[in-house]
Chains A and B, each alone.
Chain A
């Protein structure tokens, strides 16, 4: 399809991003503020020859997505915090079986049912640590309608490349805001697809990684037979309780992401080159921070922003570098402090100041400006 221009909301941009990435399977369950993604997919999926299925709950939704992905179809689900909480066990299964899938979480107020129609960024740690055991996922944090599209495409690419669940973590404000969206001509999009099993089926080992730590994937219904299990398994896919296999597998599942962190992480440096005070933000608060920084500059304060477009794997090195460039770091996030602790660990001993706000209205530009001025006067 040639380039298209829409004036639309973040949720719909994300759905269109998925379709542009070649997603042909959506399994979901309605939940505010992510419902619009399902509603859009209900009409659009059959148009593109794909499947939209409304399941009985989020556990069913994501588990069906894992099943669909193993047939070779790019697959996704979309939900919000309560739904992600239900999906956590299956996320572990997807990690363990190295299943490419995309999970869009339009973050609402929590804990529990919280404030369904109000935004928050309270699910950052959940995305990384929610399922049991030690593992890595990838999580992207868009801040505009265009980025909802672009980063959903990117989420599919990363999930295919690394055979890992990828989260699009957008706060409700980004999910529901309306802006101009440019959907590029399909031939201008760079799309990736998982490495597939090749060679003699008799010699095939379904979980034997290549040098890049990622095993080529066999699909259900192909000439390659395999057993995939959430149990700790060897290269044949067979369960084992041997300690060396457990150590090797867990290390590989983590390292295939951590060793490629440089290639995965996407950051924006805004007015940072001579900055003395840096704001670290992502999603909606980063939009306020941008305005605050411009105003601080007008007032003669050398402020800048490191905007995280990727929160997992966490950009530790970039934060350590930032700490050596600036005198103070302000972390502005719409929660009680989550990325803050990661920044603290990476950027010590530079003073880190938390602007926490676990509520629907993000930090406003003048509030961030006041904080910058306060820090500047220290």
Chain B
């Protein structure tokens, strides 16, 4: 009689709700990779996981929070950042991480993003930029490049609008740590997420990812493997480059790196000082 070989568990599975596997993601999607980046960041930092709060909005990326085995919340579309602000301000002891999509963070939630950056609340936003509203089937969004095809900019029309550069947006709004990586630069991206978590202030980490099912298909970019190979090819590391030079041109050049890391009064610390001032 032969004994079955022991089933090896993924080292990050301790952070994941195994009873919810398999996740809803399509084969070849980047979201699973980013989920792992966040888990590894938490693990590398040795955080008390029960004090970590993971918040998402709505979308494929928005489902991420639900796979983590801690206090997690799935807000309405676009509101992950403001829900998270309420959590962090009411209990600054908690480590608050937001994981959501480009549409959630920069379109319907765009106003909240810029004001959270301005306020400089100590939280980490991980935004997966797949250039589309994937969950609803692949319409163009705030990061879709001009003339790209989508369900609402069909062939041969193409996207009439122009994209936000999320790094520039977050940096100019006052975020104190800003980085961009592609989903293929796992180690570097994980290190930036760690730095973002440690940073006392608002950290914004953009992960450029692949949605082969919607964006890839409509723009004939190949399958998940092709798209990730492409991301690796065009990723150009330029740490410390001024954010306004952090170009993102999908076909040619995706500038990656850490672009902002500065000191600024953090919001919950300021509130604490104000309370103390009144007590005197």
Q: Could you tell me which residues of chain B, from 131 to 166, have a CB within 8 Å of some CB in chain A?
A: none
A229-B66 contact in complex given A59-B82, A60-B82, A222-B50, C-beta closer than 8 Å:
yes
Chain A 46-57: CB-based contact to B (< 8 A → 1; otherwise 0): 110101010111
Residues of A within 8 A of B271 (CB): 46, 51
Q: Tell yes or no: B70 within 8 A of A by CB.
A: yes
A57 to B17, alpha carbons, bound, how many Å?
Answer: 35
Q: Tell yes or no: B65 within 8 A of A by CB.
A: yes
B133 CB, nearest partner CB in chain A, Å: 17
Pick from A67-75, A107-115, A137-145, A350-358 the stretch touching chain B: A67-75
A64-B86 contact in complex given A55-B115, A57-B111, C-beta closer than 8 Å:
yes
Pick from B71-79, B242-250, B252-260 the stretch touching chain A: B71-79
Residue of B66, B75, B86, B274 touching A27 (CB-CB under 8 A): B86
Residue of A nearest to B90 (CB): A68
Q: Tell yes or no: A221 within 8 A of B by CB.
A: yes
Q: Tell yes or no: A90 within 8 A of B by CB.
A: yes
Q: Tell yes or no: B112 within 8 A of A by CB.
A: yes
Chain B binding surface, main DSSP class:
helix
Question: Is B275 a contact partner of A49 (Cβ separation < 8 A)?
Answer: yes
Q: Tell yes or no: B91 within 8 A of A by CB.
A: yes
Residues of A within 8 A of B71 (CB): 70, 218-222, 224-226
A63-B275 contact in complex given A53-B85, A56-B112, A229-B66, C-beta closer than 8 Å:
no
Question: Is B85 a contact partner of A64 (Cβ separation < 8 A)?
Answer: yes
Chain A 189-233: CB-based contact to B (< 8 A → 1; otherwise 0): 000000000000000000000000000001111111111111100
A66-B51 contact in complex given A24-B90, A222-B71, A225-B71, C-beta closer than 8 Å:
no
Question: Is B91 a contact partner of A73 (Cβ separation < 8 A)?
Answer: yes
A227 to B75, alpha carbons, bound, how many Å?
Answer: 11
Q: Tell yes or no: B84 within 8 A of A by CB.
A: yes
A219 to B90, alpha carbons, bound, how many Å?
Answer: 12
A223 CB, nearest partner CB in chain B, Å: 6
Question: Is B86 a contact partner of A220 (Cβ separation < 8 A)?
Answer: no
Q: Tell yes or no: B69 within 8 A of A by CB.
A: yes
A72 to B66, alpha carbons, bound, how many Å?
Answer: 21
A64 to B71, alpha carbons, bound, how many Å?
Answer: 16
A225 to B50, alpha carbons, bound, how many Å?
Answer: 7
Residues of A within 8 A of B91 (CB): 71-73, 220-221
A170 to B51, alpha carbons, bound, how many Å?
Answer: 39
Q: Tell yes or no: A25 within 8 A of B by CB.
A: yes
A53 CB, nearest partner CB in chain B, Å: 6
Residues of A within 8 A of B115 (CB): 55-56, 60
Please report the total number of A residues contacting B with Cβ < 8 Å.
Answer: 46
A53 to B87, alpha carbons, bound, how many Å?
Answer: 12
Residues of B within 8 A of A46 (CB): 271, 274-275, 277-278
Q: Tell yes or no: A93 within 8 A of B by CB.
A: yes
A73 to B88, alpha carbons, bound, how many Å?
Answer: 12
A323 to B124, alpha carbons, bound, how many Å?
Answer: 59
Q: Tell yes or no: B33 within 8 A of A by CB.
A: no
Question: Is A65 a contact partner of B87 (Cβ separation < 8 A)?
Answer: no
Q: Tell yes or no: B231 within 8 A of A by CB.
A: no
Q: Could you tell me which residues of chain A, from 82 to 96, have a CB within 8 Å of some CB in chain B?
A: 89-90, 92-93
Residue of B50, B69, B75, B278 touching A230 (CB-CB under 8 A): B75
Residues of A within 8 A of B82 (CB): 55, 59-60, 63-64, 67
Q: Tell yes or no: B93 within 8 A of A by CB.
A: yes
Q: Tell yes or no: B169 within 8 A of A by CB.
A: no
A49 to B279, alpha carbons, bound, how many Å?
Answer: 9
Residues of A within 8 A of B20 (CB): 238
Q: Tell yes or no: A22 within 8 A of B by CB.
A: no
Residues of A within 8 A of B25 (CB): none
Question: Is B76 a contact partner of A220 (Cβ separation < 8 A)?
Answer: no
Residues of B within 8 A of A229 (CB): 66, 73-74
Residues of A within 8 A of B87 (CB): 67-68, 70-71, 220
Residues of A within 8 A of B75 (CB): 63, 66, 93, 230
Question: Is A228 a contact partner of B74 (Cβ separation < 8 A)?
Answer: yes
Question: Is A227 a contact partner of B278 (Cβ separation < 8 A)?
Answer: no
Residue of A nearest to B273 (CB): A46
A67-B83 contact in complex given A46-B278, A56-B112, A221-B94, C-beta closer than 8 Å:
yes
B157 CB, nearest partner CB in chain A, Å: 31
Residue of A47, A63, A231 touching B83 (CB-CB under 8 A): A63
Residues of A within 8 A of B53 (CB): 220-221
Residues of A within 8 A of B74 (CB): 227-231
Chain A 154-188: CB-based contact to B (< 8 A → 1; otherwise 0): 00000000000000000000000000000000000
Q: Tell yes or no: B89 within 8 A of A by CB.
A: yes
Question: Is B86 a contact partner of A227 (Cβ separation < 8 A)?
Answer: no
Residues of A within 8 A of B70 (CB): 225
Question: Is A75 a contact partner of B65 (Cβ separation < 8 A)?
Answer: no
A83 CB, nearest partner CB in chain B, Å: 14
Question: Is B72 a contact partner of A68 (Cβ separation < 8 A)?
Answer: no
Chain A 29-53: CB-based contact to B (< 8 A → 1; otherwise 0): 0000000000000000011010101
Question: Is B83 a contact partner of A66 (Cβ separation < 8 A)?
Answer: yes
Q: Could you tell me which residues of chain B, from 256 to 280, have a CB within 8 Å of some CB in chain A?
A: 271, 274-275, 277-278
Q: Tell yes or no: A130 within 8 A of B by CB.
A: no
28 A-B pairs in the complex with CB atoms less than 8 angstroms apart: A25-B86, A46-B274, A46-B277, A49-B275, A51-B89, A55-B85, A55-B115, A59-B79, A63-B75, A63-B76, A64-B86, A65-B86, A67-B83, A67-B90, A70-B73, A71-B86, A71-B91, A219-B71, A220-B87, A221-B50, A222-B50, A225-B69, A225-B72, A226-B71, A226-B72, A229-B73, A230-B76, A231-B74
Known: A66-B75, A220-B87. 17 other contacts (CB 8 A): A25-B86, A46-B274, A57-B111, A59-B79, A60-B79, A63-B76, A64-B83, A67-B85, A68-B90, A73-B90, A73-B91, A221-B53, A222-B71, A227-B17, A227-B65, A227-B72, A227-B73
- By Cβ-Cβ distance, the 10 closest A-B pairs, closest first, are A67-B86, A64-B86, A68-B90, A229-B74, A220-B71, A68-B86, A71-B91, A67-B83, A60-B82, A67-B87
